[in-house]
Structure 1
Amino acid sequence: MQDQTMNNIELFHQTRWLDANLREYYVNNVYWAIVNRAIVIRLHHPANPEKRLVIDSGRAIWVTETKLEEEGADQLLRQFRKFLSRGKISRIEQFGTERIIGIEFVGSIARQLIAEFFGRGNIVLVDERNVILTALEYYQTRHRIIAPGKGYTTPPERGIDPLKVEAHHLRPILKYEDDFRKWIGKNLALPKKYVDMLPKLIGVKEGTLGRELDEEKLLKILNKIKEFFMEENVKPTIYLEDSEVVDFSIFSYNFEGLKCEGAKSLNEAVDKIYTKLILKEKEIGKIYPIVREKERIERSIGDLSRKKDEMLEDSEFLSELANKIREDIQLVYQDYEDFKKRLSPAKIMSEDDSEKLVYKDYSFIFDRNNPLKTCSEIYSRAKALVEDSRKIEESIRGLQNEIETLEKKIRAREKIFEKEHKKVYEKEWFEKYRWFYTTEGLLAVGGRDASSNEAIIKKYLEEEDIVFHADIVGAPFFILKRGKMAGENSLKETATAAVAFSNFWKMGASAGEAYWVYKDQISKQAPSGQYMGKGAFMITGRRNYIRNLPIELAVGIIRVKEHYSVVCGPVDAIKKYCENYLVIVPGNEDKNSVAKKLVRYFFEKVGENVKEIPFEEFIQALPPGGCKIKRYSGL
């Protein structure tokens, strides 16, 4: 039912949702979802969960929890990455009520990404002067040119902007001699899907002529058009046919034969439709060659089966024909014409000085003086047909085995596909930062950089928590949740993490010291004449020092709700929750190399579940600077 393209009303409301939910997010990376048509922009935020923004040019734009990105990058994708790198979303808006959405960025070369959802669609990047940097597709029309170095312009508007329409624009409908919806479709920039709803919404029958309407109905049409764009009227709804989601709308409407359900947001409704479409297209593309080969073999099996059945039928008839000749052999000499009739549908035909017994493509010399010789030949041919049918049966079995192999390949590809593109579970808030559970079961959370230091203190520090910091420049803040009730082990473990993730590690130190304070001792208020930069805080009052802390950590894999996560922290804490772990100390090996060793080790010990964890998460889990693996668990 869905025409596969979001219309301008749906884009109007979706743009509002995107703007409210994606502002201040940074571009992490850009991937193809479908090469040269749909992209996935991975977004991150210092305090909020990561997002995946999908832009399917010519169709839709939405945020999904499903992994749609493809590996690998061509020249065009590398351009997108280059121009969007480090960009922060500052605003998302629709161009009037056109099917065009602009995403504005700060901090990147591209200052705006323009997504077009009409015709074949397009994704265009422009700079601060609105000059095109790159695009999915370059072309020239009578009205505009899409090419690098050219200024971006929109196509001519189609019809009256529905947000600007007034009663006097609609009055020509009252003289219209056809279905009033046709006039609206031709003159207003409104999608057919919602225009077709108007008769029921204003209380007239389908096919009502324009001249059959009055001023009251005209005003009702105007009000309904305005209501299409009112946020308070939006009640996102999905429509199901045999339990499958087939369409959505901005409000509930009774479509015949479809069951409707409310959605939490318009984005959720869009996600259910378009993510399914992309997955279906991607899956078909990957398994199509195997499916085509399977269909070819099935056709061959069908042809061979028909041939085998025909052979067995012919063999049976020829055996019966030989029996008839044997049984009626006296008629050859007594009544030859009657004898020939009894052999039907086989026929005896004269050819030169001899006679032939013919049935279909089978032909036997018939000697009146020795009919039994013909019987023997017919029996031999019948027997040969049975033998040939057995050979065909063997061939069929071989082909059936091939089909079973192909079906296994299809199932394997489907499993791989499902695994590659399964729903990505939203992570817990603390997984954006450095974290671990102490041996006493308390959660410790630390910053990765100045922005995340700022975020955890401002957003997550509560009255019952305490704050840790290493006594060195270049150290993260760690929060120990419910730290006021912590025992000595939790205090020491969190202090160890604060030291190990600081510049003590980069220095290659073997030990360091850290202190902890209460919430009311930490403030952003700087002394007069001084300034507190991002991630820096003023500490007042007594500092509770813990000294001679070892600079070593352990890395393990832990299950967090429905997914697996890499965790790095003090050795005793990691040992308690992870059966398999590695101990690391400062060293000269780069993080990328160490991360590869971690992946190989955990894949061997933990298995397939490790593949669920992105490689970059192993890198991010490691402390700043070089590392060295000191020992493996159990050694």
Structure 2
Amino acid sequence: MDQKRELSSIDLGALVTELNRYEGAKVDKAYLYDDDLLRLKLRDFDRGRVELMIEVGDIKRAHVADPDNVSDAPGRPPNFAKMLRNRMSGADFAGVEQYEFDRILTFEFEREDQNTTLVAELFGQGNVAALDETGEVVGALQTVRLKSRTVAPGSQYEYPASRLNPLDVSLGGFKRHMRESDSDVVRTLATQLNLGGLYAEEVCTRASVEKETPIEEATDDQLRALHEALERIGERLRSGDVDPRVYEEELDEGDGDGGEDDEADDRDPRVVDVTPFPLSEHEGLPSVGFDSFNAAVDEYFYRLEHEESDAGEAPTDASASRPDFEEEIAKQERIIEQQKGAIEGFEEQAEAERERAELLYAEYDLVDEVLSTVQEARENDVPWDEIAETLDAGAERGIPAAEAVVDVDGGEGTVTVELGEDDTRVELDASAGVEVNADRLYQEAKRIEGKKEGAMEAIESTRQDLEAVKERKAEWKAKEAADDEEGGSDAGGGEGDEGEEEYETDWLSRSSIPIRSPDDWFERFRWFRTSTGYLVIGGRNADQNEELVKKYMGKHDRFFHTQAHGGPVTLLKAAGPSESADPVDFSEETLREAAQFAVSYSSDWKDGRGAGDAYMVEPDQVSKTPESGEYIEKGSFVIRGDRTYFEDVPCRVAVGVQCEPVTRAIGGPPSAIVDRAATSVTLEPGMYAQNDAAMMAYRELKGRFKDTSFVRKVASADQIQEFLPAGGSDIVD
């Protein structure tokens, strides 16, 4: 069976109780190994040295390790480790919590001058973010900028959308969620109830319910038995009643390399799973018991790491051990770009604060009237809710000062107003005057600019790291050249050169693939390039639909939309936004690919239809002006004149990994993606939720590459999800 590489939500729930026993331990140092393994060295008064390990790469784990199982400290600490040392050295560990039922742990550290929160995301691409007392991101292993959430320095940390906790749901809620499914029992538990495959099967076994029972055939008694099995698991986790097990699997001859020296019977069994209590699903496997789940997790991942190291092949020549300078250079350049983005963000935030301050002076009389009204009411002991009601009544009567107020927060003692032509929102301290509030905003702008200076220092440090890598690369190349001159070369041309070129482009077999990150203006939209090379872009929401038509639609482009309601605005571009364009005679293949893109990302997919209809018009047929007496919603347009229809267009998308000329995830109509990607998978409307389908596709793609870390970096599950339509999906190849 496959070896476990990630802790589940149930595992984390069992670990949290044990990790909190180390509350009060002091942080000594932070170390970072290979960009995804964070080690915090702590000192505990009773236990001595404590090693907290958090790994968020292909392996995802968080536990305290036996010091004998910890590798030596790496060399020069990277910037993230330096930042943690500055913020957390001497801090007290104040506890850890699991965020809802997600694979997220929140570690709290307290120090007299500042507190720090570490958020470990043990799902998807994985991440660790350090937050200050306000929840603002100070630093993160990975910068995340998605439509649904952002994790970037200077921004407020955003948790993923909440998930149902199957261990807390009532019987009525459990039945309702189960009955809403059109799948079988085990798949519904795994996906809709968020249990995952193993524990979904375990619950079915404990409840004596056949796993593949269709939901519509499941009786109320069976659902009640399933719920009771879940409740018993939840009670064990909450009470700390664990009986940890590390499960093993004996190796047979088929697991060896098949050689004459393969003495399988003499080899130790390999570890395959670690659980907080024995599982019926693993009844046939040998297991080892432990006193604590933390100790079991530590032993499991220590053995897993060494088993994989022993199974790895040693380099057979000098080229195999050559450092991947290109990837390291690309990594440092990416960090610099992220830091530049942070600086731009700080500049924008500081400017926004100054503009708010200036607005207070520009609307001085109005703001002063709002503040005076609230202060006078509070002096007369008028409750905050009555103040809000009075302001609402004043707004209905058309009093400008009252109309400007959009929120009254008695708990914080603040009033929020909208000022200026753009209705800029400004939160005011209701107990202070206009000048004090304006000065507070100016001071905030200065504070943000101070963070900008720190980011500029970080860029300089990263640039030094980049130059050091380039120097090492130059030294290596000089040594290689000297070795070639000394030993000569037997390599010839002709077929030998062709063979080398073929190897270079066999991306799936390469042990290391350099990262070449793109920086294209269209990546925040839905997009793909047709098989003939033309760019197609689509809106993700009403705002983007408006933006595409108003800002990016050229006179020689083509506008596509679906007959079904709820489709994206889709543009087949004749040229880029700053390029001049001539009329284009698009091929039928190109037009059909754009139509398939429009259909696949429309409500046709979400509704589970296998095909849909689309139409195409010229840009001058698209208008925002409705007929007399009619109204047009945001993101919608009026189409006038004849349309070219594409009927019965299949709902299909492919997602893949592109390796040249840049490295990234791509997605769109299969005919446009398959040849452009090093490898891809095709999906159609189906039963798996968007995030589950993304994870399935990610695992499938990652498994095809020898360099699995490359896929994690450029085509994580979150990045793949950006290319999947809303609604359920199935992989069809």
What is the TM-score of this pair, normalised by structure 2? 0.37
TM-score w.r.t. structure 1 length?
0.43
Q: Which entry has the higher C-alpha Rg, 1 or 2?
A: 1
